[in-house]
């Protein structure tokens, strides 16, 4: 991780800062707990969706999550080093798993192919805990139904070196918030479980749902729900208002008063309609500010929303502050959880015609991190 930890009070004066709000993560976990009896796995892949894997994991575990989820098993080391002691599952290990390290870090490995399981069994020095991953409709990771019997045969042959402790799937359409869209995946997971039990394994931990399934369809909950986006305030089903868990603030580096008819930025795509004040913020697309923005994109300065004008540059954006001269050093809020004049991550997703996930995971390494 390249993040530099700087106290918010200090960094805010000097540089763009992305603050993680652990209290919001805790409230989001509580929201999920209110709708399920299943255990909660806090998914902290992609550095906790850009919020800091350790910070998000700590807040989530403090609020009752009892598992952690990552993609690469190597990501578990950082969590263990930070003293996080709950079970960890890793489900995407493209370059293979360092079996000795995984055993040392006590990482469960999800396996979705015969080849992967063979490799794992061959490399295992101590018994490795494995979750068999059935393809429940994604065609993206997970073992196809046709290969399931062979996967079970391989698992049986590897007994002693691997221990099958779980069966998982992933929902392709949970964001539709329609249980009917999940029914085929639920059935497929049950069939997968039955075959694993018949093969003599068990007891098994069953898991299928991520945030959207957890919030909208109890039939998908089984023993455990894997919640990632929801931790940081994103509900892909858009049915529940969760709490935004980060705030991006940037100081004004330059401000000026310009007359009507002044072109702004590369290409002069914006020309001021009247005399106005412009404030320059030192963040741009290299920091994750989307370059293509629809009308209405803006930031909060001094309690009001002000529009971004002209093209987004690599390192800078320009904001029209109207009659207000904004002194250099004034802190603008690019996004945050406050609402009102402060844009949310969801506002940014709308302005960039994307999903909130790409906004929060896209903040660049130059932005200082303050992780509570």
Ligand X SMILES: *Cc1c(COP(=O)(O)O)cnc(C)c1O
What residue ranges bind ligand X (CB under 6 A)? 43, 45, 91, 170, 210-212, 226-230, 236
Q: How far is the CB of 363 from ligand X (least distance, A)?
A: 17
Given the residues 45, 58, 129, 131, select the one marked as catalytic: 45
Largest CA-CA distance found in the chain, in angstroms, rounded: 79
Determine how many CB atoms are found less than 10 A away from the CB of residue 359.
26
Closest CA to 211 of 184, 197, 232, 186: 232
Taking a C-beta distance cutoff of 8 angstroms, is the pair 214, 42 a contact?
A: no
Q: How far is the CB of 210 from ligand X (least distance, A)?
A: 3
Annotated active-site residue 266? The verdict is yes
Taking a C-beta distance cutoff of 8 angstroms, is the pair 112, 169 a contact?
A: no
Q: What contacts 357, CB < 8 A, 6 or more positions away?
A: 49, 229, 234
Q: How far is the CB of 166 from ligand X (least distance, A)?
A: 12
Q: What is the C-alpha to C-alpha distance for residues 120 and 191, in angstroms, rounded to an integer?
A: 24
Calculate the CA 220 to chain-centre distance: 20
Taking the least distance from each CB to ligand X, the nearer of 228 and 288 is 228
Q: How far is the CB of 231 from ligand X (least distance, A)?
A: 8
Taking the least distance from each CB to ligand X, the nearer of 43 and 117 is 43
DSSP 78-103: HHHHTT--S-EEE---TT---HHHHH
The structure tokens listed for 84 are 């996080």
Taking the least distance from each CB to ligand X, the nearer of 134 and 264 is 134
SS3 string, 203-242, reads: CCEEECCCHHHHHHCHHHCCCEEEECHHHHCCCCCCCCCC
Taking the least distance from each CB to ligand X, the nearer of 76 and 299 is 76
Given the residues 101, 127, 263, 266, select the one marked as catalytic: 266
Q: How far is the CB of 367 from ligand X (least distance, A)?
A: 22
Taking the least distance from each CB to ligand X, the nearer of 131 and 311 is 131
The structure tokens listed for 370 are 């303050």
Q: How far is the CB of 208 from ligand X (least distance, A)?
A: 9
Indicate left, alpha or beta for 303 from its phi (over 0: left) and psi (-120 to 50: alpha): left
Taking the least distance from each CB to ligand X, the nearer of 50 and 236 is 236
Indicate left, alpha or beta for 39 from its phi (over 0: left) and psi (-120 to 50: alpha): beta
Annotated active-site residue 49? The verdict is no
Could you give the residue numbers annotated as active site?
45, 266
């Amino acid at each position: 991780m390249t993040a530099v930890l700087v106290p918010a009070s200090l960094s805010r004066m000097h540089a763009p800062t992305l603050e993680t709000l652990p209290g919001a993560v805790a409230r989001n976990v509580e929201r999920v707990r209110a709708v399920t009896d299943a255990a909660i796995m806090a998914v902290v892949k992609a550095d906790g969706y850009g919020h800091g894997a350790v910070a998000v994991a700590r807040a989530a575990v403090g609020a009752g999550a009892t598992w952690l989820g990552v993609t690469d098993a190597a990501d578990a080391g950082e969590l263990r080093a930070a003293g996080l002691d709950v079970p960890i599952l890793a489900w995407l290990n493209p370059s293979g798993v360092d079996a000795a390290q995984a055993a040392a870090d006590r990482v469960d490995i999800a396996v979705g192919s015969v080849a992967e399981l063979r490799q794992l069994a061959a490399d295992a020095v101590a018994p490795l805990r494995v979750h068999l991953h059935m393809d429940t409709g994604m065609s993206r990771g997970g073992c196809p139904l046709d290969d399931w019997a062979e996967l079970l045969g391989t698992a049986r042959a590897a007994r002693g070196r691997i221990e099958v402790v779980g069966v998982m799937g992933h929902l392709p359409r949970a964001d539709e918030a329609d249980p009917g869209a999940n029914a085929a995946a639920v059935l497929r997971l049950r069939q997968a479980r039955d075959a694993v039990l018949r093969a003599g394994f068990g007891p098994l931990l069953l898991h299928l749902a991520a945030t959207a399934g957890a919030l909208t369809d109890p039939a998908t909950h089984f023993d455990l729900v894997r919640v990632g986006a929801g931790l940081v305030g994103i509900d892909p089903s858009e049915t529940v208002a969760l709490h935004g868990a980060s705030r991006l603030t940037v100081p004004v580096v330059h401000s000026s008063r310009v007359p009507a008819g002044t072109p702004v930025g590369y290409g002069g795509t914006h020309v001021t309609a009247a005399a106005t004040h412009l404030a320059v913020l030192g963040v741009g697309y290299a920091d994750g500010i989307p370059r293509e923005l629809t009308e209405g994109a803006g930031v909060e300065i001094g309690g009001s929303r002000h529009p971004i004008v002209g093209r987004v540059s690599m390192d800078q954006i320009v904001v029209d502050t109207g009659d207000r001269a904004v002194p250099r050093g004034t802190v603008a809020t690019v996004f945050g959880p406050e609402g009102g004049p402060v844009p949310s991550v969801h506002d940014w997703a709308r302005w960039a015609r994307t999903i909130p996930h790409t906004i929060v995971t896209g903040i660049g390494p130059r932005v200082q991190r303050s992780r509570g």
